[in-house]
Structure 1
C-alpha cells in the first residue's frame, strides 16, 4: 500500500472516505466573561496568569487573540476556514480561558451553564458540521456530574476539563486522581460522554515566564502529569469505558513511558494504584495529532495505536496548525492509519454519520 508523501504536493488522485474531523477547536463566549467581570477572584486569577506567562508573552498573545475573534465567535467565518483546510466537522470546545476554576459554587454553576448553552447555540448554526463540548467545575467535584448531564442534555458530546483545579479551600489542587471525582468519572463512563483534557496554566509558574515556555513546555508538562494521575491512581482501571481525549498528543508522557514502566516494575509505591504497566493504558485513551513534528506523531501512533489518535488543529490559535491534514501527511503513515486519524476514529467516538466524500491524497508513490 502506498504512503502519503512527506509534504502536501499537487493533488493527483482522490478516494472516497469518511469526513475529515478536527477534534481540537475552540470558541470564545462573551457571556461567560460578562458573568465573571468584577469578581475579586477574577483579578487574582488574571494576576497569576500574568505571572506565569510573563509580560512579553502577554504582549504577543493579546493582539493574536484579538485578530482571531471572528474565527472564535462567528460560525460563518469558522465554516469558511474549515472549508479552506478541508475539514468537514469540528468538535468545538470553549476557550480554556473560560474555566474560571476560582469561582465559588453558585458562580461556577452559572459559568458552566452559560458555556454549555453558548457552545450549543454556536454549533446549532451548522449542526451537520459542528459538534460541541461544555464545561464542568473541577474545583467543585460534587457539581461535575450534574453539569455534565446539563451539557449532554443540550446535545453536546461531552465536556472539556483542565489538568487540575485549585481546591475551593485554597490549600492544594484538585488532581484528576482526587477520589471526589469518582462520581464524575462514573457518570461520564455511563453516558459515553467525550472528555477533552486540555490544560490551562502550568504550576511551574514563574519558572516558565520567558520565551513562551509557559505554553511550549508548560502545556505538555501538564498533560503528562494529569494523565499520570489517571493511570497511577487506578482511575482507568475503575472506569475502562471512559472516552478521554488528551490534547497536544498527550504532552511528554507517550514518549517517556519506559521510565514510568520501570518505576511500576521496580517500586511498590509506584505499583500500588494501577493493575498494569503504565504504558498499556495509552491504548485506553485518545490523543489528538497536534504534536508539530512528524517523528513525534509516528511515535505517538506506535505508542497508543493508530486507532487512538484523532486529528487536531487547536483552531484558530497560533500554537495550532492551519492545515492539520497536511501535518498528518508529513508523518508518512500508511493509508489505513492516515484515514483512521483523519476522520474514522473520531466518527466512531462521536457517533458521527459516516457519509463518504472525496478526499484528496498526495500522488501515488508506489
Structure 2
C-alpha cells in the first residue's frame, strides 16, 4: 500500500488572533524587537511577500488547490509563528492560545481528510502550557507548535517538565519552530536573521533538550524539528566529543548526543540535496518527514521534487515522502 504524500510544515495566518492583540501595548514593543532583529531591508521585502501569499495562508480552497499542484495529499498546518505573542500576560496569553487553537481547527475542518492542525501554548507561562495543550487536543488538533525559547527561559527549564510529561502521555506532536533569533542586530542585514538565525535557534533548542536530559526523562516525546533541526544534525560530532571529553558537557544526559537524533523527527526543509542525505544518514530515514514551509518564500515550492533530488533509495524516499508522517498522524494508507 502506498502512503499519502504528507507535508508536516505548513502555516496558517489567523486574523482573529491579530485582531485580539492589535490594541495591546505589548505588541508595539514586540514589533520593534522584530524590526530590530530583521532590519529595514528584510521588512521591506517581507511585508509585500506576506500580503501576496495571504490567500494561501487564510483560504482553505486556495490551500487545497496549491496542494494539488504540489502533489501533496495531506498538510499538517500550524499557526504562523508570528502568533506566539510570548510577550503577553497570563490572561492575554490564554486567550491568544485558545483563539489560535480554535481558529486553526476551524480552518482544517473544511477539509478534514487533507488537513491536520497544530495549536500553540504560552511558553512564557509554563504553568499554563498543559492546559493550553489539552485545549488544543480537545479541538481535534494533533498537538502544538512551540518556539525555540521564551523570554528568559530555555526549553531545558525544569518549569516545562509538566508540559513534556503531558505531551508524552497524550502522544501529542510538538513542532519546534523558532521565531526570532537572540543574536539580534548581528543578523539584521541580508536576511541573516532567517538564513543563519533559524538554524541556529533550532540547534540551540535541541541541544538544551538533549544535554539537559529532557529526552531521557521523556523517551516517548514526539517532537518534530523544523528546518531539518538546523545546524545540529550535520554537526553533532562536536557535541559527541564534548560529551565524552568534558564532565560539564556530559553531566546531564545519559548517552552520546548523536543517539538522541533517532528519538526526534526532522522535516526535510534543508534546501540542498547533500544536506538532506546527511540528515537521513544521521537521524535515520524513519525520522525525516516532508516539509515545505508552505506558503512562505523561504519554503520549497515543490517539496517532492526537492526530496527526489536527494536521490534516496525508493524505500527511504517513500518513508520521507509520507510513510513516516502517516504513522505519526495515524493516516490511512491508500
Question: Normalising by the residue count of structure 2, what TM-score does the alignment of the two structures yield?
Answer: 1.00
Q: Secondary structure at the match of 1:41?
A: helix
1:128-169 Cα offsets, whole Å, 9 max, x none, are 000000000000001000110000001000000000011xxx
RMSD: 0.5
CA deviation after TM superposition for structure 1 residue 311, in Å: 0.1
Match of 1:310 among 265, 289, 305: 289
Match of 2:74 among 71, 86, 89: 89
Q: Which residue of 1 aligns with 2:126?
A: 141
| Equivalences, count | 334
Match of 2:235 among 245, 256, 260: 256
Q: Which residue of 2 aligns with 1:17?
A: 2
Structure 2 CA distance for aligned equivalents of residues 133 and 27 of structure 1: 10
Match of 1:73 among 58, 62, 69: 58
Q: Secondary structure at the match of 1:25?
A: strand
Q: Secondary structure at the match of 2:150?
A: strand
Structure 2 CA distance for aligned equivalents of residues 224 and 94 of structure 1: 22
Structure 1 CA distance for aligned equivalents of residues 144 and 48 of structure 2: 28
2:322 is equivalent to residue 350 of structure 1: no
1:310-342 Cα offsets, whole Å, 9 max, x none, are 000000000001100000000000000000000
Within a 5 Å distance, the mapping from 1:1-366 to structure 2 comes to 17-166=2-151, 173-354=152-333, 356=334
User: Rg larger in 1 or in 2?
Assistant: 1
Q: 4+ residue stretches of structure 1 with deviation over 4 A? A: none
Structure 2 CA distance for aligned equivalents of residues 203 and 153 of structure 1: 33
Structure 2 CA distance for aligned equivalents of residues 43 and 342 of structure 1: 41
Higher relative contact order, chain-length normalized (CA < 8 Å, sep 6+): 1
Q: Secondary structure at the match of 1:61?
A: helix
Structure 1 CA distance for aligned equivalents of residues 331 and 132 of structure 2: 23
Structure 2 CA distance for aligned equivalents of residues 117 and 180 of structure 1: 26
Q: Which residue of 2 aligns with 1:360?
A: none
Q: Secondary structure at the match of 2:295?
A: coil
Q: Which runs of 5+ in 2 are unaligned?
A: none
